[in-house]
Amino acid sequence: MKVPFGNLKAHYHAYKGEIDEAVQRVLDSGYFILGPELSKFEKEFEQYLGSGHVSGCANGTDAIQLALAACDIGLNDEVLVVAHTAVPTICAIRSTGAQPKFVDIDPATYTMCVKDLESKITEKTKAIVPVHLYGQMADMDPIMALAKKHNLKVVEDCAQSTGALYNGRMAGTIGDFGTFSYYPSKNIGAFGDGGAVATGSKENSERLNMLRNYGQSKRYYHDTEGINSRLDEIQAAILSAQLPYLNEWNVRRREIAQRYTEGLKDVVETPVEREGSVHVYHLYVIQTDNRDRLIDYLAEQSVQALIHYPIPAHLQKAYAYLNYKPGSLPNTEKATQRIVSLPMYPELTNDEIDYVIESIRSYFTNCSQEKQTTESPLNAGTQSYEVAAKSGSIS
Ligand SMILES: Cc1ncc(COP(=O)(O)O)c(C=O)c1O
């Protein structure tokens, strides 16, 4: 059996009728940018979130940039963010001219550590970007309390957590802004790039609509400096066709996670769900020692496992100028060396999940047999023979 990390082809074929109809409708309409499909999807996504206003944009990176720009964040401002995230979160902060200041993670949930966050607030801090990583939301109540105390804006990066809940509240509806990515492999994905920003404030939403469209309030009237970042009509129509299925897909992701956890909890560290939160498992991430060996072994069994993410943002070459040294974010760096993401998408079958579980279990059985063999006196003799042969003392 072969289990790839993702299978967007299977996803398309499962919904082909509805997707093809949506694309054809747009092609026939001759309307491709800022038209009725976008307005329709924005309304539908607002209903899905249960509150606020939604502005579609070109991708999840722009969504963060637009939200920060709507808060007037720019040069010389500091934005607090985790380094354990997809680097686009950091790209977006830098696009505004602001400096990212890195906060460590809570090792159990991989989300922002509130204690570390508090210790890093300075005069220059203007905003916090909590990242709801892997499908689980950051601990929003204490984050919002700190933001209120220090008068900071909060932009929730929900790229990996559409539909996740924190004490009954949807990802993207707690901070000043919630930003979403519709990258194809996300919990709901476009067939290309796409993104959105949600906000509870009508005024903010009007500002976002100008910012994403060259700063125009109406055609040829540019009231503010903006960018070009729009969710096109074809992608909006494809997203509308899929939105009714999102909850069903998230339920399936949770079932898959439960099956993995049952099958693996005695051999690896399995994900922890924060009490009161609903994790939507964009990624199912385990931890183990020697994870590269496990990934190689799984590849031999035709199971594709990946690492999200192998190098944290503060140690990336691109951000060397920020002068973070190894050891500066200990929980982040430890997680980075031990994490493995297993295949996770709603179309995975139970047979495929069980095959992944069996492959991981057989790896650990082999490891413990290997350990016993290397520890046997007979083998100790063989090893010293090899060492001696290499050093040239026997020929
Ligand atoms: C946590 C996080 N933030 C932001 C982004 C950026 O989204 P996009 O690829 O749509 O620009 C991604 C997607 O890769 C992500 O996973």
Domain boundary assignment for the chain: 8-245, 246-371
Contact 166, 249 (CB under 8 A): no
Ligand 1 center–CA 271 separation, angstroms: 21
Q: How far apart are CA 383 and CA 211, in angstroms?
A: 67
How far away, in angstroms, is 52 Cα from ligand 1 center?
22
Q: Is 100 in the pocket of ligand 1 (CB under 6 A)?
A: no
Distance CA(184)–CA(38), nearest Å, equals 17
Atom of ligand 1 nearest to the CA of 64: 4
Tell me the CATH number for domain 8-245: 3.40.640.10
* Three-point CA angle 204, 206, 212, nearest 5°: 100
User: How deeply is 221 buried, as exposed, middle or buried, from its count of CB atoms within 10 A (0-12, 13-18, 19+)?
Assistant: exposed
Q: What is the pLDDT of residues 283-323, one digit of tens each?
A: 999 999 999 999 999 999 999 999 999 999 999 999 999 99
Average pLDDT, the chain: 94
Which of the four CATH numbers 3.90.1150.10, 3.40.50.620, 1.10.3720.10, 3.50.40.10 does domain 246-371 have? 3.90.1150.10
Do the domains at 8-245 and 246-371 have one common CATH topology?
A: no
Q: Which residue has the tokens 């686009």?
A: 88
In our burial notation (b when 16+ CB lie closer than 10 A, e otherwise), range 275-314 reads eebbbbbbbbbbbbeebeebbebbeebebbbbbbbeebbb
Confidence at 391, pLDDT banded by 50, 70, 90:
very low
* Residue 85 in contact with ligand 1 by CB distance below 6 A: yes
More confident residue, 96 or 382: 96
How many other CB atoms are found less than 10 A from the CB of residue 256? 23
The strand pair at 153-157 and 177-181 is best described as: parallel
| Angle at the Cα of 56 from the Cα atoms of 143 and 219, rounded to 5 degrees | 125
Retrieve residue 272's tokens. Answer: 């922890």
The CA R_g of the chain, rounded to the nearest whole Å, is 24
Of 4, 88, 119, nearest to 102 by C-alpha is 119
Instruction: Say yes or no: CB of residue 156 within 6 Å of ligand 1.
Output: no
pLDDT of 171 above 60 = yes
pTM: 0.94
What confidence tens digit (pLDDT) does each residue in 256-291 have? Answer: 999 999 999 999 999 999 999 999 999 999 999 999
155's tokens: 């932009």
